[in-house]
Amino acid sequence: MKIVILDGYTENPGDLSWEGFEKIGDLTVYDRTSLTDWQEITDRIKDAQAVLTNKTPLPREVINSCPKLEYIGVLATGYNVVDIQAAKERGIVVCNIPTYGTAAVGQFAIAMLLEICHHIGHHDQAVREGRWESNPDWCFWDYPLIELSGKTMGVIGFGRIGQETGRIAKALGMRVIANDEYPNDAGREIAEYVSREELFCRADVISLHCPLFPSTEGLVNKESIAKMKDGVIILNTSRGPLIVENDLAEALNSGKVYAAGLDVVSVEPIRGDNPLLTAKNCIITPHIAWAPRESRQRLMNIAVENLEQFVKGEPVNVVNRA
């Protein structure tokens, strides 16, 4: 079996091994492949039976130009980079990687929240610049310091990652409310399920963990922000288009939203004209919540297992079943 990985660097910049795939077939790994040049993508996978991609798109034009292709593995949970319908029509199995980043992303969401509450990096830098040494008072702080205990965390999308975030928030003494299309008993042990409207009204902190669907695109917008508490904190470690970025920037600059912690934006990598780059109290990180080595190793293991099961004729984590 000829196996091609189109954009392997993000998953494995050198601290992991591709050995699992090498045991299955003839492996070619490209660190990066064009996101827009369909011909380059096609040329690299036209003779492959199996292709793995993270963010390199596989549109209908590419899929239909690769007659040998039997398997597409997405090195992520989201699979919108693949034309699922085109693959289905060709009988190509498409598999994703569920659950690998649950702990990492939940931890990251809370890390952003704690940074917003305490500005630890800023105050460390201030000490190193000599500001504490020269300060006339015993201590100082440049931002309001926020205690989370007793405040309400609202989680939109209460699947595995949302529940992990809720567990940590609860351990910090927060009340947790959640909105999800499919409430379950595990979630009820952590949070009170409420409507999205009620969540907007009650939450001091809102953390987004839902998939990007037409029903969730732009769910944080001028109208929903108006329903939120003054001084709300918004976190997004899910998908950038869940937020109307101009509306959030305006709310940050006006003070309606106290702060935002964002690991994702609408267009990635971020463009220089994104209004959130100049908004007040906005932390933006380069889509790294998923990326601890432990999490990436877990992803690698599942990706190898997905392909092994496909070769055995028993595919798992298939996203385009009939």
Q: Which residues belong to the active site?
A: 239, 268, 287
d(C-alpha 176, C-alpha 268), whole Å: 30
* Extended strands (E) in the chain: 2-5, 26-29, 50-53, 71-74, 93-95, 152-156, 175-179, 192-193, 205-208, 232-236, 257-262, 282-284
Specify the DSSP class assigned to residue 65: T
Residues 253 and 279: beta-carbon distance below 8 Å: yes
Those residues whose C-beta lies under 8 Å from the C-beta of residue 291, and which sit 6 or more positions away, are: 10, 104
CA–CA distances in Å: residue 208 to residues 166, 262, 281: 11, 10, 18
3-state helix, strand, coil in the chain (%, to 5): 35, 15, 50
Q: Mapping DSSP to helix (H, G, I), strand (E, B) and coil, where does residue 255 land? A: coil
Count of CA atoms in the C-beta half-sphere (13 A) of 241: 9
Residue type, 76: A
d(CA 135, CA 165): 38
Q: Are 113 and 149 in contact (CB under 8 A)?
A: no
Contact 209, 236 (CB under 8 A): no
Question: Is residue 53 helix, strand or coil?
Answer: strand
91 Cα distance to chain centroid: 29
